[in-house]
Structure 1
Amino acid sequence: MESRWRKAKMSLGLNLCVYVPRTLDDDGGPPSTGSSAAALVSPAASSSCASAATSANTTPTADPGSARGSGALMPTTPTPTSAGLRLSKSGSKSFKKTCAICLTIMKPGQGHALFTAECSHTFHFHCIAANVKHGSNNCPVCRTEWKELPFRGPMVAEIPQGSARINPVNGNQNGGHMTLLRPLPRAHSSGRLHHVTCLLPDTDRSIFNDDEPLDLCEAAEDRQQGCSRTVEIETYPEFTEIPESTSERNFTVLIHLKAPLAQNLLKPGNLGGENGPITGRAPVDLITVLDVSGSMAGTKLALLKRAMGFVIQNLGSSDRLSVIAFSSSARRLFPLRRMTESGRQKSLQAVNSLTSNGGTNIAEGLRKGSKVIEERQAKNPVCSIILLSDGQDTYTVSPTTGAHKVFAGSPTAGAQKASPTASSQKAAAEYCALLPSTNGSQQVPVHVFGFGADHDAASLHSISQASGGTFSFIETEATIQDAFAQCIGGLLSVVAQDLRVKVESLHPDVHFGSIRSGSYSSRIADDKRNGSIDVGDLYAEEERDFLMSVNVPQGCGDETTLLKVGCIYKDPLMKETINMAEVEVKISRPAFVSVQTVCIQVDRQKNRLHAAEVMAAARFSAERGDLTHAVSLLEDCRRMIMASASGQSGDRLCQSLDAELKEMQERMANRQRYEASGRAYVLSGLSSHSWQRATARGDSTDSESLVQSYQTQSMVDMVLLSQTLTRSSTPRQTPQMRHAKSFPARPQPR
């Protein structure tokens, strides 16, 4: 009789369920050591609020064989007296029977966890988890609708009170939270039950089109508070006077741009604070791609969470944030979410639940971040990625000795004629292929932060350079938050987008020779009478300097008009295209000039560009192993700068250049020092000079770096806010985050 009943049950199981092979999520990858060793318990069984009146009968059972195989300390199955649960006789006897899904014997000691549902039927956990994953909420045997479902996967939300925690013997301590059963929504849940309900992780979707919609009403209010000023254009000829009978072949003209100050970026007296920045600026879509590999365990991860908390608290309700965490694989913690009060709380909870383990798969993190941007349904005017990593990429060939990708116009072009290794070029190409774009042509900048002495500075720098972002070097873990603060201080103050400078010759015999624009793309027409520079985005009060080489013909008359400069850009808040009035460049042509005085503004920019070229050449020599020659190049450059007209005049920019070059010399004193910090310090400087934008620089305390001269007021304010929140006393301005407005004011154009 018993044999017939057993056959009937097996037949019923075959008719009511379909076997689904066990698969991994598209982007999830294999589970971590900590999560794979975890036993599963019911919230009702693990919570302190479970009582004898609770009638839930869901009791996942851990196979002793699995516990022995993993070496983990497994919790015992709750008993009726200890957890207020009652097992039916059919449930206890099910261990001798077959799983209704895979039709194999269920027996303790065979290395598989078993799951007993509230209807008392038992299955292999991996079988029923796969079944539930594909949409089944009913028992495959009796078709009872379950109120609590088995859920398999890493937790991304903070573990609530009452959840169990295991300590793997051979596993990472940061990944030891046990996965809980996923409760189905209940219409009338009590406060006590809500207390033990865990937040669901963001599912690894193949398409990331689930971003939170924008608030169009709030965006309309922001446009009414937009910036009323425009970009300023100033020009400086190398000499204001040239004799009438004299001609010049390489005459230099400086083009200087300055962005306006956006109105009310931060609340006075309450920078950020609980309410965050106020409106009146362009909202941002920000994607942070964070390294949570095993090397980030301990203090590093704790300080990274604190830094992310600072970012979350200082984004406004119109800004949206998405977080990607990567180690051996990558996962999106949550989609693009508006940073309302509720959005901040959920985001903070998700970030605080991060744990560290596994390897370093930067490429996968970038791929996920790019998908979030490219597949979003709504778009804020400003978009950017922040990438942080502290180690070598263990999944992409990218040795630290490799050279970064060099682009036309970069100060490193020409200095680096060959890559030390072919594999580094391949790695750079692989990274660049993953970079996102907003409309197929405009790149989304990736602001990269290399953390500590072991990160791959060359590859990370290539990512930032290819995308139009910056590369920062965080030498000590305590400065992570300040570095993030400086970056978002700029991103939250964008006042001009897609800015293009246009240059046109106004004299039939004036032709353009070259445009020195750093990493910004520039071009000169075939007739050499027209040119342009693609500048892109400008933060509030940011400045840009470009040097043009032109020929000056012999004069006739009192003055010669050489060229005119204009620019066109888009206001990201008002969504209007602005054409700036063109500025003409003229020089006087007297019959005789007794003394020609070089323009200090032009001379100091020549020094800056020359210093950047020497830094690139010194780095190339250092990569080839010739540190002595690298140090000699830097020393010669220091002497040249201080002997120049601007250096002799006590120009602060030249003094900063000298201090920066000296710091690089010290970091190239020996191979060990160069590998630990010299390479990253130089690359951070090259990134900052080529884009004329502030980057975080090492941990220097005895020199004022030129790189910080690119800081804007909004960056300074955000850094000071960060320091105020992390220090009990009044924050001091460290050299690495010093306000750069100490340079003398520029004279008004003639």
Structure 2
Amino acid sequence: MAATWRKLKKSLSHKLSLNSSDSSNSSSRPPRPPTPEISATVGPSPSSLSSFSSSSSSAISKLSRSFSSRLSKKNCAICLSNVRAGQGQAIFTAECSHSFHFVCIANNVKHGNLCCPICRSKWNAVPFQAPTTAADPQQNNLGQIHTNVYHRHQSHLPLQPRVHPEPLSFSDDEPLPSTSPTRLSGPQTVAIKSYTEYSAISVAESRPTFPVLVSIRAPPLQDANDHGRTPIDLVTVLDVSGSMFGTKLALLKSAVKFVIQNLGPYDRLSIVSFSTIPKRVFPLRRMTVDGRESAILAVESLRANGGTDIVGGLNKGVQVLEERRERNPVSSIILLSDGRDNCNYGSQTTSSANQVSEFLNQLPASVRCSNIPVHAFGFGTDHDATTMHAISDSSGGTFSFIESVAMIQDAFAMCIGGLLSVVAQELRLTVRSASQGVQIVSIPSGGHMSEISDESQQGVVDVGNMYAEEEKQFLVYLSVPISTGTRNREGVKKTPLLDVSCLYKDLGSNELIQVVGERVEILRPKAWSSADEAVCLEVDRQRNRILVAEGITEAQVMAEMGNLEGAQAILAQRRSTLLTTAAAQAGDGLCNWLEAELREIRDRMASVESYTQTGRAYVLSGLSSHSWQRATTRGDMTTQILTMSEGGTSHTSVGTTVGYETPTMVTMVRMSQNLGVNPAA
């Protein structure tokens, strides 16, 4: 063994001495990797290492610097082979002075990457390669040459799964089965309930802004198994840039594999990864037993390196859905990133409103017009929360802030718990004045589009998809005139206020269903009684929710301007107002949660550092949740969940985030936590 080690030292010393020889000689012969058999069976002793390191450390350092210099100046950063004139290969030199093989960089640009792979500077002049008419190996064999050179240089690295070239079109989705799953529509439909702020208004009194709460609740799933729910086409768009190396990537793989294991044979999944270059690493395939195994192999093939091209990754994910030949009833994109798009934004550390607008303009119209919801997950303290929130908000999806590494799987679990339980699509809520003189003043609807028409006689809210047992609450503010209504049996007048209905597509029967709620009326006595003065707590708690959400929005604007003191003053004022309301003084659970949320945001706005690191993302994920009345992951809050029922509110510790969770979300998160986080799984 000693003799073998001496031979190895002698050989290595000889190679190090060659580093100072003529560069033309060294560049003509690629460095030979160490012999695997020797390195695997022979280990140097500590004494030999100490004697050897003192004499060769300077040479090794010199070799490292020389190799790095040659890699950036004399090697193509894409295929890693030598870039020299006279080798029969066209060379492209960019504005930043970095050179690449023309074929390599043209293929890179073809995928939408307009920045230098080495220095990340954005190019104004980019290479373009015209399509070839025939694949003649004698005339167009540069790709094979590059592949061989690359593998020769990388022969000492661990074997990785073969990556097949992407097709020009993504119309290669796996066909849906000829027999769709049996989804029988149950006896339950969307339920509508309405509440007035007070049970009566005196006959001689008018109200310019009288609130009426309209609540809609989706029916439960008829069958929790795969055969009883609506199948989905899901695309995961995953950041695998260099910052995801190590534990981050391992936990991301575990989370995606959890998603794969919970998809059924009628669901389809595609996986897109992005770093400097976005790639579709797995086509849209059904999650049968074989499909799951193939998807898991694709996940295991992910490697972290390069920059961050969010635009390219998201465009490729949208392309998968837009070019599919067949469609499941529900489709969505899950986007995760821990960094900032440095291929389209440059080196800025914050995103201005103009930059976000320009960024969104680079995305497909199907995202900007809410046709394909993107559920975005910002991971860690360095992601671009402003841009991620803008992407999700414009698409009709949600933005979640994953502060803790261990929360990735739970965050994904809660998201797919909703996506796998869609029971109603394209739901439109309609309210119409039921009396002459009663007018609709406003409908605060958050992210949902709303419209008041017909001379303030009708209002419509586009709710969209609803998950099983999901609730949406909308306050409708009315102008109520002096009473002109009819009298009831007791001789008390009453005024009809609203007629409420909704129309939606039932995914169980694939039919349009219309639900008509009870007419909303109010008593008009000559004088108020003590019972009439009691505020409806259902209305009050939802008014408090809007009050707090609007306050958080105002505080966030102040914080972005650098006025943290002003932001905290707004939050303190909203908290004081909240605590004086009837619902809060009655111990309402939602009000308790809102008060805790205000305190948490104040803490995260204590300094510029805390706001930029976690405060901004925490606030935006909360605003996303309030805007869509849909659960999001927020910060590192993993132990509290708010459940609301007809009789009031209660808190249940199940290990997920707070607010708007549905039973299927809670169940999925419990499954995730019972499995535990195992990066090696």
Q: TM-score range by the shorter chain?
A: 0.7 to 0.9
Q: 1:552 to 1:153 in 2, by over 3 A?
A: farther
Separation (CA, whole Å) in 2 of partners of 1:210 and 1:295: 32
**CA deviation after TM superposition for structure 1 residue 639, in Å:** 1.4
Partner of 1:215: 177
Matches of 2:298 and 2:378, distance apart in 1: 23
Q: Distance in 1 between matches of 2:267 and 2:145?
A: 35
1:118-137 matches, within 5 Å, as none
Pair 1:654-2:654 in alignment: no
Cα shift at 1:606: 0.6
| C-alpha distance in structure 2 between counterparts of 1:226 and 1:698, whole Å | 38
Which of 556, 566, 575 is 2:501 aligned to? 566
| TM-aligned CA distance change 1:325 to 1:553, over 3 Å | same
- CA shift digits 1:456-512 (9 cap, x unpaired): 000000000000000000001111000000000000000000000011111011111
Contact 2:601 2:615 (C-alpha < 8 Å) held by counterparts: yes
Q: 2:457 aligns with which of 529, 540, 548?
A: 529
Distance 1:332 1:262 in 2: 33
Partners in 2 of 1:659 and 1:295 — Cα distance? 33
1:505 lines up with 2:440 in the alignment: no
Q: Is the 8 A contact 2:235 2:333 kept in 1?
A: yes
| CA–CA separation in structure 2 for the residues paired with 1:215 and 1:354 | 29
Gaps (5+ residues) in structure 2?
A: 1-22, 38-81, 89-100, 108-130, 488-492, 644-656
User: For 2:519, what is the secondary structure of its paired residue?
Assistant: strand
- The aligned residue for residue 204 of structure 1 is 166
Within 1, Cα distance between the matches of 2:481 and 2:475?
Answer: 19
Match of 1:583, as an amino acid?
Answer: E
Deviations 1:365-407 (A, max 9, x none): 11101111111100000000000000011022385644xxxxx
Q: 2:666 aligns with which of 697, 701, 716?
A: 716
Task: State the partner residue of 1:575.
Answer: 510
Shift of 1:594: 2.5
Aligned match for 1:436, one of 341, 366, 373: 366
The Cα shift of 1:571 comes to 1.4
The residue matched to 2:463 in structure 1 has which SS? strand
* 8 Å CA contact 1:656, 1:704 repeated in 2: no
Q: Which has the higher contact order (CA 8 A, sep 6+)?
A: 2
Q: Which amino acid aligns with 1:250?
A: T
Identify the residue that residue 401 of structure 2 maps to in structure 1: 473
Label 1:110 to 1:572 Cα distance change in 2 as closer, same or farther (>3 A): same
- Secondary structure at the aligned position of 1:723 is classed as helix
**1:69, 1:111 within 8 Å by CA — same for their partners in 2?**
no
Report whether the alignment pairs 1:446 with 2:394: no
Given that residues 165 and 178 in structure 1 are in contact (C-alpha distance below 8 angstroms), is that contact kept between their aligned partners in structure 2?
no
C-alpha deviations, 1:193-251, integer Å up to 9, x for none?
xxxxx65x34322221111100131x1x423x444421000000111111111111110
CA separation in 1, counterparts of 2:561 and 2:149?
44
In 1, Cα distance between equivalents of 2:303 and 2:25: 23
Q: Distance in 1 between matches of 2:30 and 2:605?
A: 47
- Deviation, 1:590, is 1.4
1:153, 1:540 → 2: CA distance?
A: 54
Equivalent-residue separation in structure 2 for 1:465 and 1:66 (angstroms): 58
Aligned pair partner of 1:324 in 269, 272, 279: 272
1:588 paired residue among 494, 513, 523:
523
Question: In structure 2, the residue corresponding to 1:580 is in which secondary structure?
Answer: strand
Which residue type is aligned with residue 213 of structure 1?
P
- Map 1:217-366 to 2 at 5 A: 217=179, 219=180, 221-223=181-183, 225-266=184-225, 278-366=226-314
1:436, distance to aligned residue in structure 2 (A): 2.6
CA displacement, residues 544-580 of structure 1 (integer Å, 9 cap, x when unaligned): 0001111112224321111100000001242111111
Q: CA deviation at 1:430?
A: 2.5
- SS for the counterpart of 2:311 is helix
Per-residue displacement from partner, 1:122-148 (whole Å, max 9, x unpaired)? Answer: xx9x99xx9xx989999859xxxxxxx
User: Equivalent residue for 1:551?
Assistant: 479
Partner amino acid for 2:196?
P
> Could you tell me which residue of structure 2 aligns to residue 496 of structure 1?
424
Q: Provide closer, same or farther for how the CA distance between residues 548 and 67 of structure 1 changes in structure 2, counting only shifts above 3 A.
A: farther
1:562, 1:584 within 8 Å by CA — same for their partners in 2? yes
Give the letter for the 2:177 counterpart.
Answer: D
Out of 344, 349, 352, the position equivalent to 1:396 is: 344
Q: Tell me how far apart the structure 2 counterparts of residues 578 and 66 of structure 1 sit (CA, whole Å).
A: 78
What is the alpha-carbon distance in structure 2 between the residues aligned to residue 313 and residue 475 of structure 1?
A: 25
Letter in 2 for 1:590: P
Structure 1, unmatched stretches of 5+, are: 1-63, 79-107, 115-123, 142-148, 168-175, 180-197, 267-277, 403-420, 729-750
Aligned with 1:376: secondary structure?
A: coil
Q: Deviations over 1:572-631 (max 9, x none)?
A: 242111111232101111121123111101111011001011111111111111111111
**Partner of 1:617 in structure 2?**
554
Distance 1:594 1:335, change over 3 A: same
- Structure 1 counterpart of 2:331: 383
Q: Write out per-residue CA displacement over residues 144-171 of structure 1, whole angstroms, 9 at most, x where no aligned residue.
A: xxxxx8894999xxx9xxx99657xxxx
Return the letter of the residue paired with 1:255: V
Q: Are residues 495 and 587 of structure 1, via their aligned partners in 2, closer, same or farther at CA, if it must alter by over 3 Å? A: same
Q: Contact 1:518/1:690 (CA < 8 Å) preserved in 2?
A: yes
**1: CA distance between counterparts of 2:666 and 2:322?**
32
SS at match of 2:443: strand
Deviation sequence 1:275-305 (CA, Å, 0-9, x none): xxx2111100001100000000011011111
The separation in 2 between residues aligned to 1:645 and 1:296, in whole angstroms, is 48
1:436 and 1:443 in contact (8 A); partners too: yes
Letter in 2 for 1:348: I
Q: Structure 1 stretch 645-654 or stretch 548-557: which is displaced more?
A: 548-557
3-state SS of 2:222 partner? coil
CA 680–641 in structure 1, closer or farther in 2 if over 3 Å, else same: same
1:443/1:609 CA distance change after superposition, 3 Å = same
Distance 1:656 1:250, change over 3 A: same
> What fraction of aligned residue pairs are identical, expressed as a percent?
45
CA contact (8 A) 1:428 1:462 kept: no
CA RMSD of aligned residues (A): 3.5
> How many angstroms does 1:71 deviate by?
8.1
TM-score between both structures, scaled by the size of structure 2: 0.75
- Aligned-partner SS, 1:350: helix
Taking structure 1 as the reference length, the TM-score comes to: 0.68
Runs of 4+ in 1 over 6 A off after TM superposition: 64-67, 69-72, 75-78, 108-114, 133-139, 701-707
Aligned to 2:442: 514
Contact persistence 2:370–2:396 (CA under 8 A): no
| Distance in structure 2 (CA, Å) of the matches to 1:488 and 1:154 | 43
Judge conservation of contact 1:251–1:552 (CA < 8 Å) in 2: yes
Q: Give the deviation of 1:428 after TM superposition.
A: 4.2
